[in-house]
Amino acid sequence: MLIAQITDLHIQPEGEKAYGIVDTNQFLAAAVAQLNHLNPQPDLVIATGDLVDEGSLAEYQALKALLAPLEAPFYLAMGNHDHRDHFRQVFPTLAYLPPSGPVQYVIEGHPVRLIVLDTLVEGESYGEIDDPRLAWLETALAQAPHQPTVIFMHHPPFLMGIPGMDRSKCRGSEALAAVIRRYPAVQRVACGHVHRSIQVSWAGTVGSVAPSVAHQVALQLTPTSKNAFVMEPPAFHLHLWQPESGLITHTQYIGEFAAYSYGTKEPLSLYA
C-alpha cells in the first residue's frame, strides 16, 4: 500500500499569491502533476490541512479545481488556516465527510487503516484534541485495535525543537499520547503544519511531519527566532506499507531534477 501525504497547500483565490510572494496554486498544480506520474500510483492521497490560506469559499473553489486532475482518490483534513463550514460548502459530496462538527473520519478497506483527526481551533494558530475528539479517536482505535493504523492530523502533538512553531503545536497532547500508547498497531502519527520533514519518537510510535508542497518554514532552533518561510524545494511524503517491514516514509521532492544512469552515465528522464 502506498499513501501520498501532501500538506500545507495554502491555496489562494485564483490569481493571488500567499503573502504576495508564493504562487501556492501553481505549486499545487506541480504537485498534482508529479503525483499523477508516480509509478506505481499511490492508493490514495491525503492532504493534512492548511488546504487554503484564509478559509474563504473562493479559495476552496480554487482548491477543488486544482485537485480535479488528480488521478488517485484524495482525502482532506483541516488545518489552522481552514474553515469547516466553507470547506463543507464547496466539497459537499465527499462521502467520507461527517455532516457536521470536527472533520474526523476513518479510511477503511486497505491493509493500513487511516484515522484522520481534526485539530482546528477556529481563529487560533495552535491546534487541539479536546475531550470529545479524543473520545472519538479512542472509539475508532478500539474498533480494530490490532490492524496497522496511521493517524493523520495537522498540528503535531510533539515538540520539534523549533521554538516559534512549538508554541502552536497541538494542545491536549498528553492525553492523546496516553491513548496512542495503548495501541501498538499505530505505525505513525503523520502531521503537517511545520512545513518541514521531521521525524520524532513519540507515544511509543513514530511522529512525522511532512514538508509543504509550496513554501517551507525556516529551520530556526534558537528561542528568540521569529518564524520565517523559505523557498526550499517543495516536497511530499510517501508512506509505503510492506507487511514484512512495516511503514517506510520517503520524502519526494517536487520538480524536475537532472538524473543519470549509474551504468551508462546517460541522462535519464524520470518524469516523462
Question: Segment 127-156, which members bind Fe ion (CB under 5 A)?
Answer: none
- CB-wise, 48 or 187, nearer to Fe ion? 48
Site map 88..107 versus Fe ion, x via CB under 5 A:
--------------------
DSSP-assigned beta bridge partners for residue 189: 151, 207
Number of residues binding to Fe ion, judged by CB under 5 A: 2
Write the DSSP assignment of the chain as a string of letters: -EEEEE----B-STT--BTTTB-HHHHHHHHHHHHHH-SSPPSEEEEES--BSS--HHHHHHHHHHHTT--S-EEEE--TT--HHHHHHH-TT-TTS-SSSS--EEE-SSSSEEEE---B-TT-SSEE--HHHHHHHHHHHHHSTTS-EEEE-SS-SS--S-HHHHTTSEESHHHHHHHHHT-TTEEEEEE-SS-S-EEEEETTEEEEEPPPSS-EE----STTPPP-EE-PPPEEEEEEEETTTEEEEEEEE-S---EE-TTT--EE-S--
Q: Which of 20, 13, 28 is nearest to 214 (CA)?
A: 28
Residue 123 CB, nearest distance to Fe ion (Å)?
Answer: 16
**Cα within 13 Å of Cα(218), Cβ side:** 10
From 50-58, 129-137, 220-228, 242-250, give the range in contact with Fe ion by CB under 5 A: 50-58
Q: What is the nearest approach in angstroms of Fe ion to the Cβ of residue 49? A: 7
Closest CB to Fe ion among 18 and 180?
18
If the CB atoms of residues 106 and 163 are measured against Fe ion, the closer one turns out to be: 163
Tell whether residue 50 is a contact of Fe ion (CB under 5 A): yes
Q: Closest distance between Fe ion and the C-beta of residue 50, in Å?
A: 4
Residues 172-201 touching Fe ion, rule: CB under 5 A, are none
Q: Which residue, 8 or 118, is less far from Fe ion as judged by CB? A: 8
Task: Please check whether residue 153 is in contact with residue 137, taking contact to mean a CB–CB distance below 8 angstroms.
Answer: no
The residue whose grid cell reads 482546528 is 120
Which of these segments, 42-50, 87-95, 143-151, 164-172, binds Fe ion (CB under 5 A)? Answer: 42-50
The span of 2-10, 64-72, 233-241, 259-267 binding Fe ion (CB under 5 A) equals 2-10
Residue 36 beta carbon to Fe ion: minimum distance, rounded to whole angstroms: 23
Q: Which is nearer to Fe ion, 50 or 128 (CB)?
A: 50
Quick one: 8 or 128, whose CB is closer to Fe ion?
A: 8
Interface with Fe ion, residue 53, by CB under 5 A: no
Residues from 3 through 22 that contact Fe ion (CB under 5 A): 8
Q: By CB under 5 A, which span of 1-9, 38-46, 86-94, 121-129 interacts with Fe ion?
A: 1-9
Looking at beta carbons only, is 150 or 213 nearer to Fe ion?
Answer: 213
Tell me how far, at minimum, the Cβ of 42 lies from Fe ion, in Å: 22
Q: 162's torsion region: left (phi>0), alpha (psi -120 to 50) or beta?
A: beta
Q: Which residues contact Fe ion by CB under 5 A?
A: 8, 50
